[in-house]
A and B are shown apart, each in its own frame.
Chain A
Amino acid sequence: MQAAHGTTFDGTGAEPPPHGLARLLGRNIFRFIFTIRGLGAFALITLGVMLAKWRSSGQLMRPAIREQIKRSGLTLLPMILFLSAALGFLVIGQAVSWLTRLGAINYLGSIMVLAVVRELGPLLAAFLVLARVGAANVIELGTARATGEVEALEALGIDPVHYLVAPRVVGMAVGVFALTVYLIIGALLSGYLWAFLQDVPLRPGAYLQQLAGALSGLDFALLGIKTLAFGFMVAIITCYHGLAQPLRLEQVPRATIQAVAQSVIACVLIDTVFIIIYLTV
């Protein structure tokens, strides 16, 4: 291909680099802005529908919500217990050797609170729910959209956001919160077990005192808000990519990949906001 300024390029039809790069950057920025706008609108619509219809069709919706809580919470419990054991071993295993060298073993509980309670616990639980349920959400809803099931709901006067999205939002928010609690408890217990096996001179009472000393009321409040925000965001992003735009069947895998990537980014951004809150309060 002969470029306008006389340079020969690779024949792939690509534009000259400066313009091509600018165009690519511009396109991605616009795409990002449109996605943010779409997600924001979808989140507001979902919240509006949940508030307006939270009591309607209870005999149908209550079992649907219970099913989603079971799907995003209870069925993931074995995996969360495995992760909690691994997380406790991992954090304590790394921390013990350094703290022993520094003679600062009294800070073991503080490190567990900083690493597990505030950061890794909520993030791991959110990523697990995203991987096991969020990705399935996009595939289910995207397939329903592509095969006309959403039009069928509309033809029956059933609000797809109320029937398909609201139970998932509640289920994933509650699921991430509950799993985080179990993950933290499991990691704190397995952490002590690992310290005990490494002959760390730390009695259970002293370990609990360290934990209690490192925890504040704000930790509990922020943990609740953060995990609910993670669950809400993962549900909104995965439902948005599955449901909020016309899809053909062959576009479902791409929508799934986009939804998972954006959910990870959203969780990290939410986490960053909470880090700032922790550091400033």
Chain B
Amino acid sequence: MKEKFLTALAQISCQRGDKQANIQKIEEYTERARRQGAELVIFPELSLTGYTIRDELYELAEKIPGPSTNAIEKIARKCKVYIVFGMPELSAKAQATIYNSAVLVGPEGYIGKYRKMHLPTHSVFEEKRYFRPGYQAGTFETAIGKIGLIICYDIFFPEVCRLTRLEGAQMIICISASPSVRKAFFEALTVARAMENAVFLAYVNLVGIEDGLQFWGGSRLVAPNGKIIAKAKYDEEDLVVGEVNYIDIKPVEAFVPTLKDLRPELFDKLKGKAEEL
């Protein structure tokens, strides 16, 4: 396994509802990232379709693996890179049950998926109307380390990152479609989640305007000590590359040993209190 590699944050806007156009953009950005030496390229939440697709989700959702994951798998094989992207996933066992999923493919083909656990359904968000929540963390063994996937609103719940970290993730990838009124939250939480878990965290947000919602971009790669290694522009498409070096985890994990000091008995209490809320 590699200790050190370059990762690219591909902060794109999407053609809403046009999977072919978005796959083409994913290919272009992947090729560009590869030319810059990246071995992992990350795209935003629901980057296959755009975020605000509403009732069209029933037509656009696909099984995983399926035609779109196959197409992106091909790009990964051709460019010899790992790719993370987001898409609406149709349950293999049902006809209109959909998940908001993140997919990881690599030079070896399809690797795995993560289904978003926390679906915002408040303010401008209506995800629970359309999506079923996932029940599992998503961590995957690869040649570039153990990669964990989470999606957008999940980052507001420290237990998702913690669980992903406890499953062994050295790098947590948060793909996102966050409108600009929430910028301050994400800027703080991305750094907090990296530091409290002594883990690399890559946050990749959408840009562009969909149905009056403006996605703010600002994608970033955060080191375990909270340092921002690479940061994309606000509000416009961008591709930035930063280095992940797992050797940087150990000094942070020893300096503020949050993993050593975990108190498992608190989690039982949390469960009880959360049920009573």
A, B assembled together: no
Report B's interface with A, CB cutoff 8 A: none
